[in-house]
Amino acid sequence: MIELISTKRCITCNICVQVCPTNVFDAVLDQPPVIARQEDCQTCFMCEAYCPADALYVAPESHTKVEVDEDELIDRGIMGEYRRTLGWGYGRKNNSELDTAHKLRQLPRPYESN
């Protein structure tokens, strides 16, 4: 679930507002966008992947609010980690083959019996 828009890193481009498929963000004039509908976040990581400033943190927990500390996330190099893993961004090696999201389809479905 989206947990943080870094006020230290955000360049107010509003790309996250544009790419979010569930309309989680609201744009704010001359300020970073706000997380307006966090409960609608589907943890798709689109906003984090497209953020050119690595200013977003999406926690892998999809239905649980997680307390985060912006400075700690920055110090640990976690901000924009998904984008970095994919190799998106100037000067990065394309690593999209390392994305393991497709493995989610291999998990057993609750309605399937073994």
- Tell me the per-residue pLDDT of 67-76, one tens digit each, with 9 for 90 and over: 899 999 999 9
Look up the CATH architecture of domain 2-104: 2-Layer Sandwich (3.30)
Q: Is there a contact between 89 and 83 (Cβ–Cβ < 8 Å)?
A: yes
Query: Mean pLDDT score of the chain, rounded to an integer?
Result: 86
Task: Kindly provide the b/e burial profile for residues 47-85, where b requires at least 16 CB atoms within 10 angstroms of the residue's own CB.
Answer: bbbbbebbbbbbbeeeeeeeeeebeebbeeebbbbbbbb
Q: Look at the pTM and tell me if it is higher than 0.75.
A: yes
Q: Long-range CB contacts (< 8 A, 24+ apart) of 64-67? A: 64/1, 65/1, 65/3, 65/38, 66/1, 66/3
Residue 54, sorted as left (phi over 0), alpha (psi -120 to 50) or beta, turns out to be left
What residue segments make up the domains of the chain, in order of their start? 2-104
Separation between Cα atoms, residue 52 and residue 78, nearest integer Å = 15
pLDDT the model gives residue 98: 67
Nearest-10 Cα torsion for 88, 91, 96, 98: -120
pLDDT (tens digit, 9 = 90+) per residue, 74-114?
999 999 888 888 888 777 777 666 666 666 666 676 655 55
